[in-house]
Structure 1
Amino acid sequence: MASQEPSFEEQLAQLQQIVNHLEQGNVPLEEALTQFQEGIKLSKELQAKLTSAEKTLGHLIDDNGDEQVYEKQSDDPSNNGGGNRGFGSEED
């Protein structure tokens, strides 16, 4: 029987545990490298799950019951995730 893949939250908690352990600074070099590599692997897996969730949520229903396509406006870091994200935008 195949083991079940850990949830996003479980993987995130594991990554946080690795980061906390490494931040203590008293980890032998070999162990630190191994944990760092595991952290990178977890980070990539978490990013893939977030990307998948973003694609799933790419189509949302507005207040009128109409489907709206998610359009990422820009990678402008000054936006800080706020403002109009393209939902229900009348501009094409």
Structure 2
Amino acid sequence: MNDDKLTFEQAMEQLEAIVQKLEDGEVELEEAITIYQKGMELSKLCHDKLKSVENQLTKVLTEDGEKDFSLQEED
């Protein structure tokens, strides 16, 4: 599957599998480098998706007149 088509959840699942594989220490150096690079790509993809959602929320809340959308509970 093309990384651009992955959902956030799919990317996180793949990233978690890569981390587990690297933590197990059962891979050869060349494979470790390859999957580490893949993990970095997935990490960036997740970060970009989260940033996009944050920007969308900021836009929606700003359009609705909300300037501060902190997740603090009101007393």
TM over 0.5: yes
SS at match of 1:32: helix
Contact 2:61 2:69 in 1 (8 A): no
Residue 34 of structure 2 aligns with an amino acid whose one-letter code is T
Distance 1:36 1:7 in 2: 20
Query: Which residue of the partner structure matches residue 67 of structure 1?
Result: 65
Q: Which has the higher contact order (CA 8 A, sep 6+)?
A: 2
Alignment identity in percent? Answer: 39
Query: Which residue of the partner structure matches residue 26 of structure 1?
Result: 26
Q: Which runs of 5+ in 1 are unaligned?
A: 73-81, 85-92
Residue 14 of structure 2 aligns with an amino acid whose one-letter code is Q
Give me the TM-score of the superposition, normalised by structure 2. Answer: 0.77
> Which is strand-richer, 1 or 2?
1
Give me the TM-score of the superposition, normalised by structure 1. Answer: 0.64
Cα deviations by residue, 1:33-57 (Å, 9 ceiling, x for unpaired): 0000000000011100000000011
Which residues of 2 match residues 13-92 of structure 1 at below 5 A? 13-58=13-58, 59-60=60-61, 66-70=64-68, 83=72
Count matched residues. Answer: 69
SS at match of 2:44: helix
Larger Rg: 1
Name the Cα RMSD after superposition: 2.4
Q: Which runs of 5+ in 2 are unaligned?
A: none
Displacement of 1:60 after TM fit? Answer: 2.4
Displacement of 1:69 after TM fit? Answer: 2.7
Displacement of 1:26 after TM fit? Answer: 1.3
